[in-house]
Amino acid sequence: MSSEVELQIENFEGPLDLLLSLVKEKQMDIFSIDLAELANSYLKLIDSLKDTNLDLASEYLVMAASLIQLKAKMVLDDPNSKKQVEEEKSDLLRQLSEYQQFKKISRELREKEDKRSNIFIKDVSSYDNFQYEIDESKLDGKSDAIKLIMAMRKMFERTNARKLKETTIEKFNLSPAERRIELIQLLNNNDNPTFDQIFSVPSMNHFVVTMLTLLDMSRKQEIILHQDQQFGKITIKKGVINE
């Protein structure tokens, strides 16, 4: 790993960034990486730096020293320091994992920022067209017919404009469960009602809810749809209903 490409330390944001790139090169999960092998790869990179890179690589050298110390403990395999070595290994891997998450979040935030920069907000519009025109003139007994017609025309225009701005939202609360109860009562009170009777409803909303309810009840065999001939009347028979 001594090519010129690998010596572009300025392309990395720090020693953890360099270590993470080495992990990605090996295409392995952080917690399953061979830490000794990772340390070797890192130290080879740092060793290949020129003297002119020392100022730039000072923080990388601190990490190199830590890895050398950790590697030495791993090689010695001293039972007395085994617990300490495991803690140092876990701490380093944890730092790498957290840094990986921070990089992912940073990348996502940068992407959102780029998308947001492509959103252009419309400037505030003028409200002049929506303001009522104030007419200071008055109608009196001496006003002519033309003036009266013009005043009435303006009145109707204002009234019509006000109606256009008003929106009415109709509230509709009937649910399929409620409609099912109504249909069960209808079946209890009527033998084999027809589609015409079932769909005698006041609005399209009622029609849609009724159709969905009938299909669901038919699927559950709570009702049986019957037709004697093509294009004939469809009657509804009561099936097994668990009320």
**Total-model pTM:** 0.39
**Sequence letter at residue 77:** D
Domains of the chain with CATH codes? 4-117 (no CATH), 176-238 (1.10.10.580)
**Sequence letter at residue 165:** K
Instruction: Find out whether 216 and 175 touch, Cβ atoms under 8 Å.
Output: no
Question: Which residue in the block uniquely carries the two structure tokens 């159709």?
Answer: 211
Give the model confidence (pLDDT) of 126-141 as tens digits.
766 666 666 666 656 5
Instruction: Find out whether 15 and 45 touch, Cβ atoms under 8 Å.
Output: no
**Confidence category of residue 9, pLDDT binned at 50, 70, 90:** low
Q: 68 or 33: whose pLDDT is higher?
A: 68
68/75 Cα distance (integer angstroms):
10
Give the model confidence (pLDDT) of 142-172 as tens digits.
656 676 677 777 777 777 766 666 656 666 7
The sign of the dihedral angle between the CA atoms of 88, 92, 95, 101 is: negative
Tally of CA atoms within 13 A in the half-sphere of 144 that contains its CB: 1
Which stretch, 18-22, 123-127, 128-132, has highest mean pLDDT? Answer: 18-22
Instruction: Find out whether 13 and 53 touch, Cβ atoms under 8 Å.
Output: no
Question: Which residue in the block uniquely carries the two structure tokens 């929506």?
Answer: 130
SS3 (DSSP) at 64: helix
Question: What pLDDT is recorded for position 4?
Answer: 41
Q: What's the rounded mean pLDDT across residues 115-134?
A: 74
Q: CA angle at residue 145 from 143 to 147, to 5 degrees?
A: 60
Which alpha helices (DSSP H) does the chain contain, by range? Answer: 15-25, 35-47, 58-76, 82-117, 145-165, 176-189, 195-198, 204-219
227: burial class by Cβ within 10 Å (0-12, 13-18, 19+)?
A: exposed
Q: 73 or 7: whose pLDDT is higher?
A: 73
Q: What's the rounded mean pLDDT across residues 174-188?
A: 87
**Sequence letter at residue 103:** K
Give the model confidence (pLDDT) of 37-54 as tens digits.
888 887 877 776 655 555
Q: 129 or 6: whose pLDDT is higher?
A: 129
Give the model confidence (pLDDT) of 69-106 as tens digits.
887 877 777 777 778 878 888 888 888 888 888 888 88
130/116 Cα distance (integer angstroms):
31
Mean pLDDT (the chain, rounded): 76
| Percent of the chain whose pLDDT exceeds 90 | 0
Question: What pLDDT is recorded for position 7?
Answer: 45
